[in-house]
Amino acid sequence: MGDMKTFPKGIHVSHRKEATEALPIVRAALPKRVILPLQQSLGAPAEAVVNPGDVVAEGQKIADSTKFISVPLHAPIAGKIARIEKHPNATGVSVPSIVIEALEDPPAASSRPQRLSWRDLDSDQIRKAVREAGIVGLGGATFPAHVKLSPPSEKRIEAVIINGCECEPYLTIDHRLMLERPADLLAGAGAIAKAVSAPRLIVGIEDNKPDALQAVSAEAGRMGLKEIEIVPLKTKYPQGGEKMLIKAILGREVPSGGLPMDVGVVVHNVGTAVAVQEAVELGKPLIERVLTVTGSGVREPKNLLVRIGTSFAEVIGQCGGLTEDAAKVIMGGPMTGTAVSSLEIPVVKATSSILVLNRKDCAVFAEGSCIRCGRCIKACPVGLMPSTMAAFARIKNWDRVAEYHVTDCIECGCCTYVCPARIFLVQHFKIAKRELQLRKAVKP
């Protein structure tokens, strides 16, 4: 295993996936009410194309945008538009949202077109289907998928990499999708490669998921996809970061401030590829997603297929509820997720997991002083100097933090994880990045 592909630095974390990795994905009960923030992707928020009182069918478009970096939104359930009002999202900010309430006698969903094969569609048709389905990167970054499928003409894409690493602890949805839906995953991957005319199609999977490696390889053989490369990668955090993945598989470095496209690569994760298959071959919009509900604070951990807009409370209720000592709820994984303060917030397109930790697992420590041990520098996969950046961030010297390339920080949390002084390094960098962005926004 000595020559297993990987990237420099990074850390080894406990995976904590045992509770759900062997559990097949199950469909959650349909919610009676859904709350849908209009902004569910990076870029511009969508605008409602329905009004309170309108009756909508499942899958009907309810919001859209004329901006390129934005995605439309569809009704996850049939029902009545109850309200369009501000509602708190995962970060606690109240954002404009559409509320749909289920009806006893819902209108029938408009019939979907006949099943197509991605092989029969051209690049434009694939891009259009992906855009119309409202697909965003389902790994949590929520970048509109059609934008990644539309590289400028001067950028030649040589490889599409499908990210099957799922290096974040606790999460098991991509692992389950690779085991349960390898054919859909590969069809979606094929569509993505076709859309950007990439000659190479690679699936990268960490070597702690040998069953997924086997399932995807076997399916590729069955489908006659001889050109697809399935690459095992060393299990290391954050192997699933786009830049780390490209370095590990192709040995290419995405330049500072650059995008994978700058080195001829497009990366999509496994869940996004499956959503692309559904959009392209079935005409199905993104109205549901798979999430892992797990952690020491939830009674029956599960991998659940949930309608977008379902409240966290309802999802947790379908997993046996909270334990008595449940103390902290996180949207996403423990390394990059966001702690939430209410269970009334809805599942959105970005929700890869609901992680609930008990008191023991989320002890809060006071921030200490830097002992200059250098561990954070040794761990940072981007090659940054976290200790120096944090020292400047703590005194709000944003110019100096910027000089140390904080904008290249991928917020992986490796530095925070290894710091013996328990300095909240990544939190400092998130604040610094926001300050720098705000400053850029107010500049004339």
Pick between residue 326 and residue 409 the one whose CB is nearest to ligand SF4. Answer: 409
For ligand SF4, the binding residue among 29, 93, 109, 371 (CB under 6 A) is 371
Interface with ligand SF4, residue 151, by CB under 6 A: no
For ligand SF4, the binding residue among 421, 428, 432, 433 (CB under 6 A) is 421
We find the least distance from the C-beta atom of residue 411 to ligand SF4, in angstroms, to be 5
Interface with ligand SF4, residue 412, by CB under 6 A: yes
Interface with ligand SF4, residue 179, by CB under 6 A: no
* Location of structure tokens 């990076």: 42
We find the least distance from the C-beta atom of residue 308 to ligand SF4, in angstroms, to be 29
- The string of DSSP codes covering 361-375 is GG------------H
User: Among residues 100, 103, 86, which one has the least CA distance to residue 37?
Assistant: 86
Pick between residue 48 and residue 335 the one whose CB is nearest to ligand SF4. Answer: 335
Candidates 82-90, 147-155, 219-227, 383-391: pick the segment binding ligand SF4 (CB under 6 A).
383-391
Interface with ligand SF4, residue 374, by CB under 6 A: yes
Query: In the window 384-403, what residues touch ligand SF4 (CB under 6 A)?
Result: 384, 386-387, 390
Interface with ligand SF4, residue 256, by CB under 6 A: no
Tell me the C-alpha distance between 329 and 325, whole Å.
12
Pick between residue 132 and residue 411 the one whose CB is nearest to ligand SF4. Answer: 411
Q: Which helix (H) or strand (E) holds 166?
A: none
Interface with ligand SF4, residue 420, by CB under 6 A: yes
* 217 burial via Cβ count (<10 Å: 0-12, 13-18, 19+): middle
Pick between residue 149 and residue 246 the one whose CB is nearest to ligand SF4. Answer: 246
Tell me the C-alpha distance between 375 and 19, whole Å.
31
Tell me the C-alpha distance between 330 and 351, whole Å.
10
Query: In the window 307-326, what residues touch ligand SF4 (CB under 6 A)?
Result: none
Is 315 within 8 Å of 294 (Cβ atoms)?
A: no
Is 425 within 8 Å of 390 (Cβ atoms)?
A: yes
Interface with ligand SF4, residue 411, by CB under 6 A: yes
Pick between residue 84 and residue 425 the one whose CB is nearest to ligand SF4. Answer: 425
Interface with ligand SF4, residue 413, by CB under 6 A: yes
Tell me the C-alpha distance between 429 and 179, whole Å.
36
Residue 154 CB neighbour total at 10 angstroms: 5
We find the least distance from the C-beta atom of residue 247 to ligand SF4, in angstroms, to be 13
Tell me if residue 287 falls in helix, strand or coil.
coil
Pick between residue 355 and residue 384 the one whose CB is nearest to ligand SF4. Answer: 384
| Binding residue count for ligand SF4, defined by CB under 6 A | 29
Interface with ligand SF4, residue 167, by CB under 6 A: no
Pick between residue 155 and residue 394 the one whose CB is nearest to ligand SF4. Answer: 394
Tell me the C-alpha distance between 177 and 196, whole Å.
24
Tell me the C-alpha distance between 301 and 324, whole Å.
15
Angle value at C-alpha 148, between 233 and 27, nearest 5 degrees: 70
For ligand SF4, the binding residue among 87, 375, 428, 433 (CB under 6 A) is 375
User: Among residues 173, 181, 204, which one has the least CA distance to residue 277?
Assistant: 181
The pair of structure tokens assigned to 208 is 């702690």
Interface with ligand SF4, residue 370, by CB under 6 A: yes
Q: What's the one-letter identity of residue 145?
A: A
Candidates 179-187, 256-264, 313-321, 406-414: pick the segment binding ligand SF4 (CB under 6 A).
406-414
Tell me the C-alpha distance between 292 and 273, whole Å.
18
232 DSSP β-pair partners: 205
User: Among residues 307, 320, 315, 365, which one has the least CA distance to residue 340?
Assistant: 315
For ligand SF4, the binding residue among 220, 379, 401, 432 (CB under 6 A) is 379
Interface with ligand SF4, residue 335, by CB under 6 A: no
Interface with ligand SF4, residue 212, by CB under 6 A: no
Candidates 140-148, 191-199, 351-359, 369-377: pick the segment binding ligand SF4 (CB under 6 A).
369-377
Interface with ligand SF4, residue 380, by CB under 6 A: yes
User: Among residues 147, 396, 109, 103, which one has the least CA distance to residue 260?
Assistant: 147
Is 219 within 8 Å of 186 (Cβ atoms)?
A: yes
We find the least distance from the C-beta atom of residue 392 to ligand SF4, in angstroms, to be 12
For ligand SF4, the binding residue among 354, 382, 393, 432 (CB under 6 A) is 382
Strand order in the sheet with 33-37: 33-37, 94-102, 79-88, 55-56
The pair of structure tokens assigned to 432 is 């610094």
Pick between residue 360 and residue 396 the one whose CB is nearest to ligand SF4. Answer: 396
Pick between residue 185 and residue 244 the one whose CB is nearest to ligand SF4. Answer: 244
Residues that bind ligand SF4 (CB under 6 A): 370-376, 379-380, 382, 384, 386-387, 390, 409-415, 418-421, 423, 425-426, 429
